[in-house]
Amino acid sequence: MNTIKAADFDPNFKFEIEKELGGEHLTKCFNCTGCTVGCPISEIEPAYNPRKAMRMAILGMKKELFESEIMWLCVSCYTCYDQCPQDVRITDVLNAMKNIAEREERMGHIKLESAKPAFDKEFVDSIKRHGEVYETGVVIAQIVKHQGIKRLLEYTPTGIFMLKKGKLSLIPKNIKGMKQIKNIFRVVRGKE
């Protein structure tokens, strides 16, 4: 039987989450499963269960959470958020956990396996560079890195259709207020 060992847990993890914007309500959770009932991902992917994710966070199973795909399976639909009788704000708590993980990865402390944080990074970096997101570049980079050139080539007919219809931009364009965007990133992310 695959049992857990409480001595290996990080008892500070729940406080770490509660310090993040959005993570404040984690310990209000009494594990009632209201979140999981109605979760569209739980219905089709057994690996995902928001109630279990909340329980793991409160227990301090940081390593298990960061080394698995669990939190990256949340689709941010806010169904659980509205259903929770304890106002845990599960979607935001999961995002707070993801923020800790993404920050630790940026600082070189951990390596995240899921393609989801990779895409988040690709997308946010594009805003940092241009102010507007450069959709075409971000999507192509993600497909090449995580699904391969072959998959990208399969999208050729769709790409040509979109180009013809003016739905793809080929050149990224910077907004004028790049100084303000840079300031936002500097203040929010500090010296990371």
Residue 153 near another protein by CB under 8 A = no
Number of residues that bind another protein (CB under 8 A): 64
Per the listing, tokens 């707070």 go with: 96
Q: Give whichever of 4 and 109 is closer to another protein, judged by the CB atom.
A: 109
Residue 96 near another protein by CB under 8 A = yes
Residue 79 near another protein by CB under 8 A = yes
Residue 72 near another protein by CB under 8 A = yes
Residues 105, 103: Cα–Cα separation, whole Å: 5
Residue 183 near another protein by CB under 8 A = yes
Residues 53, 59: Cα–Cα separation, whole Å: 10
Residue in 5, 111, 150, 176 binding another protein, rule: CB under 8 A = 176
Residue in 46, 111, 187, 192 binding another protein, rule: CB under 8 A = 187
Residue 184 near another protein by CB under 8 A = yes
